[in-house]
Each structure stands twice: as structure tokens, then as C-alpha cells.
Amino acid sequence: MKLVSICPSNTELLAYLGLDGQLVGVDDFSDWPASVSDLPKLGPDLSIDMDRLEATGPDLVLASLSVPGMERNVEELVKRGIPHLVTNPQSLGDIAEDLVTVGRACGIEERARHIAREYLDFISELNLRSERVADRPSLYWEWWPKPVFTPGSINWLTEISRISGGYNIYEDVELASIQTDWDDVASRDPDRILLAWVGVRTEKIRPELLRKRQGWPELRAVREGHVDVMEEWLYCRPSPRLLEGALKLGNLLHPELYGNLRLPEWVSTAK
């Protein structure tokens, strides 16, 4: 099959299924695995060049509503009659279902079900270890600094926080993404601040700027140096790559519980 992915998370999903060799085009932001760097880039995920996409002659295009605004691309795919599949993962369980759905559409359902089981088994192992945590630190995830966006309860990062031995300070808000402000975050005074700005590389994030926010120098996490820059690609893209991020977070919070845990082979050896 000739496949096209128009968002990074679906490109990664295909790679974990061993289907990245069938890709004939990707969006500009897809940067993993390394093999996609040589593929035709079809534009930013919200401004896909549909003429170029159509010219690749795809058998299937993968889109995802986890990217706000992707609906415009989907409407154009429908209008042009281009075969497509739309995912909309909000949870770790949704990603397992997407593995099977995409595998079925690409004719490798049995392999996809096996990978999905291993994926869920690893999540279960992380969760078992998290149940031994006596003191869970509160975590503030920052997706964007101004205006402030952070994940709520209907999001994989709330699950990752739990299975890694912490908890999201906004897990009480039943939204996938919350727009709030610095004063509200400060009122919750998290134990740790985790900066994962969507679309921004880690070297461009400057945690020292948090001290310029009113009242933030007095925050527990800032005072104690518990401000961490987290890789956007390990935490903000709903693909099995989140397992790598969850294990890294577990080792950051509770190395005594997670230090001897290893990623499944199909994750750690993915290209």
C-alpha cells in the first residue's frame, strides 16, 4: 500500500507497526523515525498541500483529530474522494485501539493486535509499580506558556502522570486541554513543573524565565529546582512512543521503582 500520514503521531504509529517503509509522503512536522526525512513533505499538518498529496496516489491517508484544526484537511480528503482513516486518540487505551484499526486497514491486523497487547501489558506493569508509591508528587504540565495551556483529565498525560507515580494537578478538570493562567497554576503550587511546549524543541525552552512570572519564584517547584524540560515528542504525540516518555518520567520521580524496567523490544528497537 502507498500510505500518507499528515501528522507526526500517525507517522510514529505506522513505524511501530513496521509500515513506515510504505509511506510516500508526510506532513512537515513528522520527524521520526529518521527514514521519513527523505520523504516528500506535504506542508504543515494544518496546511497540507492537497494537490501534492493527491499526486502521490495514496491508497490510504492517515489523519488525526488530536491535532486541533485537522478537520479542514479531513473535509478536503472527503471532497476529493481520497481514501483516508481518521484517528482521535485522547487516552492510552485509544492508542491501542488505533494500532489495531490501522493494522486492519493495512492488512496486518494479527501483528497489530500482538503489538497492542504488548503495549497494554507494559502500561499494566508501569501501573503496578505506581501502586507502590507512598508519596505522589503533584505535576504541572505546561503545553504552552502564554496563553497557558495544560492537559486536563481527558488526556494521556494525566494517565502517564499516574502510572509514573505522580498526578496531574489539573486531573480534576474534565477537559482534554485547559486554557488557564499563571495565577491559577501558582494557586495549586505543584511539586514539579514539566515544560513540554508543543512544537518547540527542548533547547529552545528557557525554564529560567519562570522566575519572571509574578509569584512564581515562591512556588515550591521553583524554589526546590524541580522544573524539568520534557521532550515534546515523548509526551505530546499520541503514539506508542509515549511508553518511552512514561518510563523516563517514572525514573525521574521514583528511580528506585522504575530503574530496572526495560521498554518492550518493539519499542526500544524501533528506528
Q: pLDDT (tens digit, 9 = 90+) per residue, 85-104?
A: 999 999 999 999 999 999 99
Tell me the pLDDT tens digit for each residue of 128-185: 999 999 999 999 999 999 999 999 999 999 999 999 999 999 999 999 999 999 999 9
Domain ranges of the chain: 3-88, 138-269
Q: Evaluate if residue 267 carries a pLDDT over 90.
A: no
pTM above 0.75, yes or no: yes
What is the share, in percent, of the chain residues with pLDDT greater than 90?
Answer: 92
**Average pLDDT of 229-249?**
96
Residues 6+ positions from 229 with CB-CB distance below 8 Å: 195, 196, 202, 205, 207
Fold of 3-88: Rossmann fold (3.40.50)
3-88 and 138-269, same CATH topology: yes
pLDDT tier at 264, thresholds 50, 70, 90: confident
Diameter over CA atoms, the chain: 57
Q: How many residues does the chain have?
A: 271
pLDDT number for residue 71: 96
> Which of the following CATH numbers is that of domain 138-269: 3.30.750.24, 2.160.10.10, 3.40.50.1980, 3.40.50.150?
3.40.50.1980
- For residue 21, the number of C-alpha atoms closer than 13 Å in the C-beta half-sphere is 4
DSSP 3-state of 3: strand
pLDDT number for residue 268: 63
